Amino acid sequence: MHADPQSYRHRYIPMTEQDEAEMLQAVGVSSISELFRDIPASVRYQGLLPVSEPLDELALWSHMRELASRNLDTSRMASFLGAGIYDHHIPVAINHVLSRSEFYTAYTPYQPEISQGALQAIFEFQSYICELAGMAVANASMYDGATALAEAGLLAVGATKRKRLAISRGIHPEARQIIATTAEALGIELVEIGLAPGIGTTDLNKLENAVDDTVAAVLIQSPNFLGCIEDLASLEPLAHHCGALLIVSANPLSLGVLEPPGSLGADIVVGDAQPLGIPQSFGGPTCGFFAVAEPLMRRMPGRIVGQTVDREGKRGFVLTLQAREQHIRREKATSNICSNQALLALGAAVYLSVMGRTGLQETAALNVRKARYAASVIAALPGYQLPLSAPSFNEFVIQLPKGRSCTTAIGHLLKDGILGGYNLEADYPELPGCMLLAVTEKRTKAEIDRLALRLGELI
């Protein structure tokens, strides 16, 4: 691209040279470059950008296809990388529904009389989330699981009038960073609760010592970032004995085999719906879910779709409990989320409807069994260990033999078309030489055995 915008034509903008000249004359300048005269020359880019000359359409398509072919495609390789974004099977029905223009062109269904389809789809999503989480009310989705967890912390602060949050070290590192940024801006103190060494779950003794009548909520992720399933039944009384709320971030697919957090005393359940039929898409966008116990429903951020009847007694759907305007009232708002991921929430709802109760349970059980098999064959390799003893869902931590780095191992696996796990050393220095592996229902026995074979070559 040339530095001077006049040196190339905008193929997709219907503007002729005469149109351009007339506009320049109307604003009183002789060239487009003159519009930028207030920017000091010392900070302007001089010369030509280091890119190719303009390409015709055929050459451009060819160039873009070649660039795209360099991307790692998990449809052509075995992915054992999780850490928040997972390679799950996506039923073809989901894309078929999402591709309908009634859904992908819709924004906010303000007028219920003409938005019944979109409102019903959102209502179904909320209903599924309530059933999975064991909660009374769910909203019409959030941006993603990490921001949903931060919003849950804000809700707890507002509900309890306390300014401290106890946050488990087992929560996703990126989610902890988002919570820390939010807390700093609002003067909220964070108290990090460490993990029990050799176990991998939140240290109950440290939590008990940290929670008092100044703590608004205890934030837990289960399964946590290391794949370990937290003992929510034991955590619940430690949170509630001083009036703090219990906030749980959950993998929704794991709830096909685990007891719902709501049944174990959680006040707020959040998470990311990405495992429910949402593509990995280089890390996003995804869709967050947010569910609460009934006493907290009027404090819940975002939108809620309710079921009602019209004057003739026919079933209908409306936005309920909250007016959108409350979310633009600056510091008085319960939240400043103004949009959401309704299209991806619809995708999650389609996934759950296609899979059904039995399909979800079977898929979750496959994740457990395949991850357990992978852990057993890797642990049998000389020098390899499973450093954490807590039960897991579909992710687990392996410790490489002494002198072997995760970076080397990941590069070695990649040569054989295997996308290795997540290097934990940067986020958890207490776990040197450790890698987080994810095994979903898509991974075959042959792929798992090949992973173990390649890891064995590093010994």
- Mean pLDDT of the region 84-107: 90
Domain boundaries, the chain: 5-68, 78-88+356-456, 92-351
Confidence of residue 13 (pLDDT cuts 50, 70, 90): low
The sign of the dihedral angle between the CA atoms of 165, 170, 171, 177 is positive
Its CATH architecture, for the domain 92-351, is 3-Layer(aba) Sandwich (3.40)
Dist. CA 74–CA 283, nearest whole Å: 13
Confidence of residue 324 (pLDDT cuts 50, 70, 90): low
Tokens of 357: 């109760």
- Mean pLDDT of the region 431-459: 96
Mean pLDDT, all residues of the chain:
91
From 301, 268, 264, 308, select the one nearest 119 (Cα to Cα).
308
DSSP label at 385? B
- Mind giving me the DSSP string for 138-204? E-S-BS-HHHHHHHHHHHHHHHHT--EEEEETTS-HHHHHHHHHHHHHHT-EEEEEPBPTTT-SB-H
Q: Where are the beta strands (DSSP E) in 31-133?
A: 78-79
Residue 109 scores a pLDDT above 90: no
Task: Specify the pTM.
Answer: 0.87
Pick the CATH number of 78-88+356-456 from 3.90.1150.10, 3.65.10.10, 1.10.3720.10, 3.20.20.10: 3.90.1150.10
Dist. CA 434–CA 120, nearest whole Å: 45
- What pLDDT, on the 0 to 100 scale, is given for residue 7? 44
Dist. CA 386–CA 228, nearest whole Å: 12
- Mean pLDDT of the region 387-391: 98
- What pLDDT, on the 0 to 100 scale, is given for residue 1? 40
- Mean pLDDT of the region 353-369: 97
Residue-wise pLDDT tens digits, 189-208 = 999 999 999 999 999 999 99
Upper half-sphere CA count for residue 291 (Cβ side, 13 Å): 30
* pLDDT > 70: percent of the chain: 92
Q: Phi/psi of residue 445, each to 5°? A: -60, -40
- What pLDDT, on the 0 to 100 scale, is given for residue 25? 94
- Residue 122 carries which side chain, given as an amino acid letter? I
- Mean pLDDT of the region 159-169: 97
- Mean pLDDT of the region 78-82: 97
Distance between terminal CA atoms of the chain? 50
Residue 4 scores a pLDDT above 60: no
Helix, strand, or coil (residue 250): strand
- What pLDDT, on the 0 to 100 scale, is given for residue 322? 66
Confirm if 101 and 321 have CB atoms less than 8 A apart.
no
Residue-wise pLDDT tens digits, 134-148 = 999 999 889 999 999
Reply yes or no: is the peptide bond before residue 223 cis, omega within 30 of 0. Answer: yes
Looking at 108-112, 247-251, 400-404, 450-454, which range is the least confident one?
108-112
- Mean pLDDT of the region 6-21: 68
